[in-house]
Structure 1
């Protein structure tokens, strides 16, 4: 199965996760701390994932004069920087997949029969082609997959840390949804721009292009809808992450454009 078929699946899983979080948020009081997080919190997930994130946000906030909104922005950028090597690898893998498409088409024509032996041979030759060009068809899905536990950890840290939950930033409380719906709108707009920039940098063809075009319009609307019910701190994480992604995509695209122009001039 190709990398392009995995991305919509992981995107749907991410949306299902967000929907579950939104449902949990709507069932709890806006002034209630759910399962306080501390150094002695039981459970592997809470003790080794949620609490360290909560502790790190509080440490950064202490450096920022107790500003937890600014702390979340800084922590989000640091997380994105940590994921940057994976994102660069994803982009390179996508471009490598595009480069070997003509050879893959030849393999499909050569092994066009649908019997079991021919399909097995096609899979073997495809894997050889991947190895020859250093392509990992699953590497493009890894950043999306990693975002799921990060999103869950952020949600749990916000709902379980009193300092974060009751703190205010700009016009909103971090533990409650944005009363003016500015953050949800920004989350939707930046999600659209982020996906648009990514599509421009890595154009797809065939059925994959149609799937990505559908997600381009569906994803921002769903993110905006979910952000209206989730804590504003989570929407803030979304907005900052999307802006970082847009800048990152454009920064990678500019050197590629210069390289292409230089190659063409030769």
Structure 2
């Protein structure tokens, strides 16, 4: 649970860092230098341009299609991360018992706690770091896609629906949708845990607010990317965590009925 909170704080930090990054305003071209630009950002930018050509010149549709394609490619990693998270969650009662057993703060007791915890992980075939690896792989791609959208000059000159891709949404509808879908996604991911932990409940509201603040200022192309990505994650979470969501909903309804 603490790891999930730290993860969300880290994502907020990355967003804040990106918003102030000087290179984010530098156009990406085939002449851009550096490993990051040449092997991550420019290939993604070129992919967006090529898909736009296939989509009749619509960069809005291109962003939608490329977002879905990237999410589908990373889906196996997300499933692996979810399974790892479920395995860790299943061991929480046993880990809590160990903490109560070795509650003393002296060094020998804490070493014994660590040994017993690692033995518990080995017994159940759980790797506590397994959930971090998929995230490490995903983040460069997602941040690179963020850069590709921001730094591809062809995107800025096109319109899509009611907004210009290179300018903020004039009626702020996309930022609001991005915030609402972020809330729904987080709510589904935290099903059954947010009500038990005030910190989780705080993050449930903080993330959507941060998304709206960023989306209001950023080009609408980025807001579109966030909305499509969030909708994909909502559908993905529903299919991966369907039984858990139904159980959490049933628990909530029964709790409300008792009141």
Q: Same fold (TM over 0.5)?
A: yes
1:76 positional shift: 0.7
CA shift at 1:102, angstroms? 2.2
2:215 to 190, 215, 227: 227
Q: Secondary structure at the match of 2:177?
A: helix
Q: Provide the C-alpha distance between the structure 2 equivalents of 1:115 and 1:252, rounded to a whole number of angstroms.
A: 42
Which residue does the alignment assign to 1:100?
A: 91
- CA displacement, residues 46-69 of structure 1 (integer Å, 9 cap, x when unaligned): 111110100111111111111111
Q: Do residues 204 (structure 1) and 193 (structure 2) align? A: yes
User: TM-score scaled to structure 2, two decimals?
Assistant: 0.85
List gaps (5 residues or longer) in structure 2: 247-259
Task: Give how far 1:88 is off.
Answer: 1.4
Shift of 1:205: 7.7
Aligned length: 247
Aligned partner of residue 112 in structure 1, secondary structure:
coil
Report the TM-score when normalising by structure 1. 0.83
Aligned mates of 1:10, 1:189 — CA distance in 2? 20
Mark the CA change 1:206 to 1:98 in structure 2 (over 3 Å): closer, same or farther: farther
1:25-44 pair list within 5 angstroms: 34-44=25-35
Identify the range of structure 1 (58-67 vs 15-24) with the bigger mean alpha-carbon deviation: 15-24
Query: Does residue 184 in structure 1 map to residue 175 in structure 2?
Result: yes
Change (3 A) 1:147 1:221: farther
Task: Answer yes or no: is 1:79 the counterpart of 2:76.
Answer: no
C-alpha distance 244-155 of structure 1, shift in aligned 2 (>3 A): closer
Aligned-residue Cα RMSD (Å) equals 2.6
Q: Residue 139 of structure 1: CA displacement? A: 3.6
Give the aligned partner of residue 145 of structure 2. Answer: 154
Superposition pairs of residues 250-265 of structure 1, within 5 angstroms: 250-254=238-242
Q: Describe the superposition over 1:229-262 as per-residue Cα deviations: whole angstroms up to 9, x where unpaired.
A: 111111111111111111111112346789xxxx
Higher relative contact order (CA 8 A, sep 6+): 1
1:169 paired to 2:160: yes
Which 5+ residue runs of structure 1 have no aligned equivalent? 29-33, 259-266
